[in-house]
A and B are shown apart, each in its own frame.
Chain A
Amino acid sequence: MKDTAIQVKGLQKSYKQLHVLKGVDLEVEKGSIFALLGSNGAGKTTIVKILTTLLKQDSGTATVNGFDVAAKPDNVRQSISLTGQFAAVDEILTGRENLIMIAKLRYLKNPRQVADDLLNRFGLTDAADRRVSTYSGGMRRRLDIAMSLIGKPQLIFLDEPTTGLDPEARIEVWKVVKELANKGTTVFLTTQYLDEAEQLADRIAILHEGKIIANGTLSDLKKLFPPAKVEYVEKQPSLEEIFLAIIGKKEEQ
């Protein structure tokens, strides 16, 4: 068996009466890109928060890099980085100051250099000394992701990294994610966009009504697709069709 970066078993979580996670199982291989797909309110952010030690589960276990998230949160935090659903940047500081602050908090030797490199890599050099409150949504998101790369964490969580971005900015983010994976970083991302999962992910899991209802590579998922309909042109099902078909099937049962 290959190395696992994340292992989740029987994860359950309720907010008061609302039973959001009803026994989630999943596994993420080291160095891979894993996409968690689900509609609004499915519980994607809830899973990310549990895995990043921000929230405690009600039952079930989750291990990240071999450490139990509930029992060893400090060890988990050492090896992860989170880009939450809503940009976690300091609006009053400049882009450069944001990066330097995180680099200092990660005890890197040369915070200014780290900040310069990232500003350059994310095309933010010109805006580096402007307050983040003047940034566009795309710039903010780029800065947010750049902040998460500081200190080269082994595992990065990206919660809907491209929501609200224009197509160009989305492609830029995709490029960054692919680069990360090429360098061996494990990426756990959530998305509502099926094409994003299709583009990026080695494995895709679909979260629906509190459970993972499908999990596999794109071609695995394609096999779940019902036999081709009679059509004039034979065509590959898109992930969107697969998604809707699987959800439809579950709801019929």
Chain B
Amino acid sequence: MEMIKKHFFSDMSIMLGRSMRHIFRSMDTIITVTIMPIAFMLLFVYVFGGAIQTGTDNYVNYLLPGILLIAITSGIAYTAYRLFMDMQRGIFERFHSMPIARSAALWGHVLTSLVSNAISFVVIILVALIMGFRSSAGVLSWLAVAGILALFTLALTWIAAIAGLSAKSVDGASAFSYPILFLPFISSAFVPTETMPSAVRAFAENQPVTSIVEAIRSLLAGQPVGNDIWVALAWCLGILIVAYLFAMRAYKRKAA
């Protein structure tokens, strides 16, 4: 037992290495989580941007937080998919019959999601810099941004884990992500909510993405974040905890 406990982190890092290989070997994952958000950024800045009134002179600055969140929301379906395939193909049964930490296999997928998102954030921010993104944020603000992004990634990844663990088919495993994909579009990520019809606006202003986008936007602009950051943190932590509990329950049920 002691030996097994001690190995949790090394087991998990072996699992992480494994699923990172999966990501780097599947082009569509890389395209979806990195290139597609960049394409959105190009589209919004150079095609729609001229017509969009945000009240800022630098639309890339306005857009970047939403683009980062799109990278997260479009990547989680792959986490669900990879998890589902592992359950399906029997490799989890092999792991579970071995003397390794029970949840290392699951945590491997969760960490993979974090690491791969971190990589795509860096790429997206570099492209944004080339497109004219400028930030006056200090180190602490950047750390806060990284923290919020990590929390949001974790929250959505655990939702993906529930889907991957309890789905009956491949399509089912990724279907859960469709409504989540729309969240950034019905938020203040691309345009201010003031111009939206009142029902849409009420939804947009009270869903998690808007508070997260506003918090990140203020942090990057070096402005006071006000309440948004607490609302954003509450959303992320709330979703994270609930999703984690349900995912663990689904995992225990599957893995005897």
Binding site for B on A (CB under 8 A): 49, 52-56, 74, 77-78, 80-82, 84-93, 97, 101-102, 104-107, 131, 147
Contact = CB atoms under 8 A, between A and B. Distances in A.
B89 A86 contact: yes
Given A74-B99, A105-B98, A56 B90 contact: no
24 contacts: A49-B93, A49-B256, A54-B93, A54-B96, A54-B97, A54-B256, A74-B4, A77-B98, A77-B99, A80-B97, A82-B93, A82-B94, A84-B94, A87-B90, A88-B91, A90-B91, A91-B89, A92-B22, A92-B25, A97-B21, A105-B14, A105-B95, A106-B98, A107-B7
Contacts of B90: 84-88
Contacts of A49: 93, 256
Contacts of B99: 74, 77-78, 106
B contact face: mostly helix, strand, loop, or mixed: helix
Interface in B85-107: 89-91, 93-100
Contacts of B11: 105
Question: Which secondary structure dominates where chain A touches chain B?
Answer: loop
Interface in B107-149: none
Nearest to A147: B94
Contacts of A131: 25
Contacts of B89: 86, 88, 91
A232 B17 CA distance: 66
Given A54-B97, A74-B4, A90 B255 contact: no
A232 B11 CA distance: 64
B1 interface: yes
Contact of A89 (B7, B91, B97): B91
Contacts of A74: 1, 4, 99
Contacts of A107: 7
Nearest to B4: A74
Categorize the interface residue count of chain B. Answer: 20 to 34
Contacts of B26: 92
- The 8 A-B residue pairs with the shortest CB-CB distance, nearest first, are A88-B90, A88-B94, A82-B97, A77-B99, A52-B97, A78-B99, A86-B90, A88-B91
Among A88, A104, A147, the one with the most B-chain Cβ atoms within 10 Å of its Cβ is: A88
B249 interface: no
B18 A53 contact: no
Nearest to B105: A105
Contacts of A86: 89-90
Given A74-B1, A105-B98, 4 more contacts: A54-B255, A84-B93, A86-B89, A92-B21
A46 to B, nearest CB: 12
Contacts of A78: 99
Nearest to B25: A92
B97 A55 contact: no
Contacts of B25: 92, 131
Contacts of A87: 90
A26 to B, nearest CB: 19
B151 to A, nearest CB: 29
A105 B100 contact: yes
A91 B21 CA distance: 11
B20 to A, nearest CB: 11
B245 to A, nearest CB: 22
A251 to B, nearest CB: 33
Contacts of A147: 94
- Most B CB contacts (10 A, CB to CB) among A78, A85, A101 go to A101
A52 B97 CA distance: 6
Contact of A93 (B21, B93, B94, B96): B21
Contacts of A97: 21
